[in-house]
Structure 1
């Protein structure tokens, strides 16, 4: 039987930026930045406390723009902290006011694997983990190098900085969901550029995905299917949302003019830290904000060694990536940037 693209409310369905409660019926939001849109959305929903935190985040974001890399992690982190409070408050989540994450340096060498991030059991970051349905890693520690390896928008910079590093992310093209005519069977499917297909690809996309060659092109499909029936749209949509949440743990976005999607490969060490990039960005920026605030001379040393470009890329790129992700989680909408920006 032939396969066709899955459609909801007359439009083809694709991956969504929101993990928790994505709205697949709504149109995407095209905006240079999501600040004003989310503020208006929160006003319309009468979420005044969340609006206060969101606008606080915006003020810290504006301060960040004019600061150098050595200083901006402090304001970036407080932007992330307040945006997270906006998300939690908008969804009626309770949280303790402490940060829920700490950090420290070890050894004298300026290295990202000497910068430790300690995950704690209570506070803002654990509340974010709980909301997203992720482990809070309470009592565990990771290095900034561990965390940076798992963030897609700096992964190329990471691999160029640390020669010989295992590439964790595989770019996907033509992503979407398919359904089989005459059947309730539906699934996720994407294409992969043949440049990224080699002897290790098939094993690295396991578990849960399979690779096919079709007419000289390569396709990745999710092994697990979900039930879709046009006669029972609400049950079908519920099945789809559960399915989408599961695959979004492995398929992650970079927010851009057309959001780009990457499959997180199954390689040694990838399962030590399984959180989404919102949590990883928050935790990493907290450590950098501590260095910026409490030990700026030590922090400046990190810009004089081989990982300086990677560090700078994270500091410059993470605010937009974090804010777009937060905007999607708050509103349930998909945000993309116009090409002009």
Structure 2
């Protein structure tokens, strides 16, 4: 089958960091951090409240960089909280001032299985879930271990920490959108390194994806197609945005010098928590901030057991990942970091 890459505004189109108000026409934003760019964006749109929250988030972010790992979860969480308020305010979403998430410890052993995150029905986190068009998990609880397992930027640390843990993500390379020659038929496509292919891969990529062998290269394709017509660009883009949003529920980025993309596998018995990275990071950091504020001795105990490195990696890496993600949602633009992650 002869096909070529789909182009919008003169450039080949790939997956985008923004889930909701995505702008594929604008070029990517290369910046060491998105703070100033987003601030200027909000000033231009006269988003006074959103700008206030964004500036607050920046101050907490900078404070976290100078604090040790036992203290920084508190300021990092308030960075997350204010960044989300900036997004909600800029997009005209209503929200109440409660956090929308709580937590508690169970048992006497220092274990991530014993740190529980309770999702609530009202507040900032449910408002973020509503904006992102995903479940708010109201009334449900999950362990901190389950939540951390679902983040690609610390997944290697997770699997090294918990021997025998199921690897949840398949890295994708050369991801793009293709259009069949002489046709309106278009689809998502990426390559997978053969070392990630085994007897379970075809099942793990379901539902909705399939594998092809093409001249020695293993390709992952989205089964569902969408229509693209060069003569009807506006309707084509509208349909494409819906298609892209569906794919991004399963494929997640790590923000880096060239954003890396990972397909989340379908793993039996572990499909009750289906949220984006922004929601998961917010929930996890909230629990750690509670420990940092109310029970720092207990938090210190978590750094004296086998998962100390995993926690340290999350505390260190998640703020920049979160901020880049929120920046993309506020502006609709694709952000990349000039330095390697």
User: Into which bin does the TM-score normalised by the smaller protein fall?
Assistant: over 0.9
CA gap of 1:251–1:111, structure 2 versus 1, over 3 A, is same
Consecutive unaligned residues in structure 2, runs of 5 or more:
none
Q: Distance in 1 between matches of 2:65 and 2:185?
A: 48
Q: Which residue of 1 aligns with 2:268?
A: 268
Once the two structures are superposed, the pairs formed by residues 254-293 of structure 1 within 5 Å of their partners are 254-293=254-293
Q: Which residue of 2 aligns with 1:154?
A: 154
* Deviation readout 1:124-157 (Å, 9 max, x if unpaired): 0000000000000000000000100101101110
Q: Which residue of 2 aligns with 1:25?
A: 25
TM-score between the two structures when normalised by the length of structure 1: 0.99
Instruction: Give secondary structure in 2 for the equivalent of 1:271.
Output: coil
Q: Which residue of 2 aligns with 1:103?
A: 103
Instruction: Give secondary structure in 2 for the equivalent of 1:247.
Output: helix
Instruction: Give secondary structure in 1 for the equivalent of 2:303.
Output: helix
**Residues 1:233 and 2:233 are matched in the alignment:** yes
Instruction: Give secondary structure in 2 for the equivalent of 1:270.
Output: coil
TM-score between the two structures when normalised by the length of structure 2: 0.99
Q: Which residue of 2 aligns with 1:164?
A: 164
Structure 1 runs of 4+ aligned residues shifted over 2 Å read none
Q: Distance in 2 between matches of 1:12 and 1:339?
A: 23
Q: Distance in 2 between matches of 1:319 and 1:13?
A: 27
* Deviation readout 1:105-142 (Å, 9 max, x if unpaired): 00010000000000000000000000000000000000
Q: Distance in 1 between matches of 2:94 and 2:203?
A: 41
Q: Distance in 2 between matches of 1:283 and 1:170?
A: 24
Contact 2:15–2:175 at 8 Å: present in 1 too? yes
Q: Distance in 1 between matches of 2:27 and 2:339?
A: 17
CA shift at 1:64, angstroms?
0.2
Contact 2:112–2:145 at 8 Å: present in 1 too? yes
Question: What's the RMSD between the two structures over aligned residues?
Answer: 0.8
Q: Distance in 1 between matches of 2:157 and 2:194?
A: 22
CA shift at 1:339, angstroms?
3.6
CA shift at 1:25, angstroms?
0.1
Q: Distance in 2 between matches of 1:101 and 1:162?
A: 26
Q: Which residue of 2 aligns with 1:69?
A: 69
CA shift at 1:270, angstroms?
3.3
Q: Distance in 1 between matches of 2:129 and 2:267?
A: 23
Q: Distance in 2 between matches of 1:269 and 1:164?
A: 16
Q: Distance in 2 between matches of 1:233 and 1:64?
A: 45
Instruction: Give secondary structure in 1 for the equivalent of 2:271.
Output: helix
CA gap of 1:187–1:340, structure 2 versus 1, over 3 A, is closer
Consecutive unaligned residues in structure 1, runs of 5 or more:
none
Q: Which residue of 2 aligns with 1:189?
A: 189
**Residues 1:251 and 2:251 are matched in the alignment:** yes
